[in-house]
Structure 1
């Protein structure tokens, strides 16, 4: 999850994890699909997020997400809620936001236009 400072490799998903005010911020770069989703799945594991798992997934640099990404987010939302925490999404591009709305994930997971709004609603 460390940031190597190098640009992302095409076809590969990177997730950089930082913490702000006790909230884990997961900055995702690249397409989220069946072949690339492993790093996001690992990053959203509640055991990696602390005793009260609160996370914001920053989607500003995600141009595409398929059903694999949707399923990861749903699973993470359920696990974090059961552990007394929460999950929020921030900055989804129009193409990803349309997907979130189409499957009504925005009704289950709070979505915010910016990272700042997700951190301080």
Structure 2
């Protein structure tokens, strides 16, 4: 399955939405979107909307960790939102649910 990635930003806050499977083959698409976002815009908060991600493997998790590192190096905040049960389970089993800030729902841009 392919991964679709879209970004919406407003006033230094961005929501990056991923839909599909986040794995070895598709993770570079999300990584490229995050790199482009950080290169092209001044953002201090990035929320990754995982509500449409059906599967995530270790490569996908590494892309998320790398994105978090880049955002935090710039003094920003990196959060995950609305992971499906299968993705949430991977976060919990790996202990990454304590590394990432994980929200049950996607915060509205104007509430960010």
The alignment's TM-score, normalised by the length of structure 1, stands at 0.82
Which of the two has greater helix per residue?
Answer: 2
Counterparts of 1:34 and 1:22, CA distance in 2: 30
Matching residue of 1:47:
39
1:108/1:117 Cα in 2 relative to 1: closer, same or farther (>3 Å)? farther
Matching residue of 1:3:
none
Which of the two has greater strand per residue?
Answer: 2
Q: Is the 8 A contact 1:89 1:118 kept in 2?
A: no
Counterparts of 1:109 and 1:36, CA distance in 2: 21
Which 5+ residue runs of structure 2 have no aligned equivalent?
none
Q: Is the 8 A contact 1:112 1:118 kept in 2?
A: no
CA-to-partner distance for each residue in 1:43-101, whole Å, 9 max, x for gaps? Answer: 111324x2344210000010100001110111111111011112100000000000011
Matching residue of 1:91:
82
Matching residue of 1:72:
63
How many residues are treated as equivalent by the alignment? 110
Equivalent residue of 2:22, what SS?
A: coil
Q: Which has the higher contact order (CA 8 A, sep 6+)?
A: 2
Q: Is the 8 A contact 1:16 1:27 kept in 2?
A: yes
Please give the root-mean-square deviation of Cα atoms over the aligned residues, in Å: 1.9
